[in-house]
């Protein structure tokens, strides 16, 4: 359910043209926030912006590719100009993969790390003074795969683990500024991410390899993530498999590896 707490907050959301990012945008708009939305696919981004019904906030969309550092700079500048500052940065854009490392083209690995990790770091750097000024919040969409190395997801796992290293360190650096840093780790969520996942040669997979699997809804993940960010929680684990994988990784890593190996054969 939308909450009124975000009324008057200024928010940049990456990956807002689809899935979890679109759900976050719709919920924040419902709560009266003013939004800057971004994603690559302009028609889909525009449709999400039009579906955002903000009682008193404004919704702006700027389409572009986050692998392009010049676009990241432009996006940060437009965010400052349009919103006049920022209270919440949602680093949500992400791209997944399905390939063994031996078939993974190094360029594909770099694309995944650019979108999932470097774009989040860059936008945070570019907007850090404004976030500090507002004692704002940074919400980072990681994954179960950010806690546990997952076969056929080497680059994806690496990019999500990197988010934890970077944002956990940054949280401590920002302790005195009052900026909150929240990492969210969902398990499977019902979105097109797996259908759009890259194969080893960079082709789009075009099917959901987890079809039939029990999944969280994008709406539920969005609501729980916003609630965690509001409370400035450090880490949110979403879904039973995420909590179980976390416990096994600490207490029985060999057993966890055996389960992961079987699950991907």
Ligand X SMILES: NC(=O)c1ccc[n+]([C@@H]2O[C@H](COP(=O)([O-])OP(=O)(O)OC[C@H]3O[C@@H](n4cnc5c(N)ncnc54)[C@H](OP(=O)(O)O)[C@@H]3O)[C@@H](O)[C@H]2O)c1
Catalytic residues: 156
**Binding-site member from 92, 150, 152, 225 for ligand X (CB under 6 A):** 92
Task: Compose the 104-143 pattern: x for residues touching ligand X by CB under 6 A, - for all others.
Answer: -----------x-------------------------x-x
Q: Is 139 in contact with 89 (CB distance < 8 Å)?
A: yes
Q: Which of residues 182-201 bind ligand X (CB under 6 A)?
A: 186, 188-189, 191-193, 196
Sequence-separated (6 or more) residues with CB below 8 Å from residue 209: 98, 194, 197
Q: Which of 3, 7, 58, 65 binds ligand X (CB under 6 A)?
A: 65
Cα distance between residue 57 and residue 21, in whole Å: 18
Cβ proximity to ligand X: between 54 and 242 the closer is: 242
Binding mask 2-41 for ligand X (x = CB under 6 A): -------------xxxxxxx-----------------xxx
Nearer to ligand X, 65 or 78 (CB): 65
Taking CA atoms, 195 is separated from 75, 156, 221, 228, 243, in Å, by 27, 15, 19, 28, 25
Pick one of 3, 67, 134, 227: the residue that binds ligand X (CB under 6 A).
67
89 torsion bin: left (phi>0), alpha (psi -120 to 50), beta (else): beta
Instruction: Yes or no: say if 20 and 39 are a contact pair by the CB < 8 Å rule.
Output: no
When asked if residue 75 is in the footprint of ligand X (CB under 6 A), the reply is no
Residue 44 binds to ligand X (criterion: CB under 6 A): yes
Distance CA 131, CA 135 (A): 6
- Give the tokens for residue 257: 């590896």
Query: Which residues are near ligand X by CB under 6 A?
Result: 15-21, 39-41, 44, 65-67, 92-95, 115, 141, 143, 186, 188-189, 191-193, 196
């Amino acid at each position: 359910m939308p909450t009124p707490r975000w009324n008057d907050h200024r928010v940049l959301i990456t990956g807002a043209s689809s899935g979890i990012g679109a759900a976050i945008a719709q919920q924040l708009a419902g709560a009266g926030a003013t939004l800057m939305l971004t994603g690559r696919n302009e028609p889909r981004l525009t449709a999400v912006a039009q579906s955002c019904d903000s009682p008193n906030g404004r919704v702006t969309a700027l389409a572009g590719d986050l692998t392009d550092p010049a676009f990241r700079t432009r996006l940060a500048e437009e965010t400052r100009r349009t919103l006049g500052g920022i209270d919440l940065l949602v680093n949500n854009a992400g791209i997944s993969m399905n390939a063994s490392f031996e078939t993974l083209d190094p360029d594909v690995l770099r694309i995944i790390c650019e979108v999932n990790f470097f774009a989040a770091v860059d936008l945070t750097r570019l907007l850090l003074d404004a976030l500090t000024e507002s004692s704002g919040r940074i919400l980072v969409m990681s994954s179960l795969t950010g806690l546990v190395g997952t076969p056929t997801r080497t680059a994806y796992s690496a990019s999500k683990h990197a988010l934890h290293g970077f944002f956990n360190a940054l949280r401590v650096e920002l302790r005195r500024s009052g900026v909150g840093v929240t990492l969210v780790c969902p398990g499977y969520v019902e979105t097109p991410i797996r259908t759009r996942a890259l194969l080893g040669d960079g082709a789009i997979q075009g099917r959901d390899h987890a079809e039939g699997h029990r999944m969280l809804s994008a709406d539920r993940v969005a609501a729980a993530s916003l609630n965690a960010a509001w409370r400035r929680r450090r880490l949110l684990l979403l879904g039973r498999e995420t909590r179980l994988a976390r416990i096994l990784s600490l207490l029985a890593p060999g057993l966890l590896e055996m389960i992961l190996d079987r699950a991907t054969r």
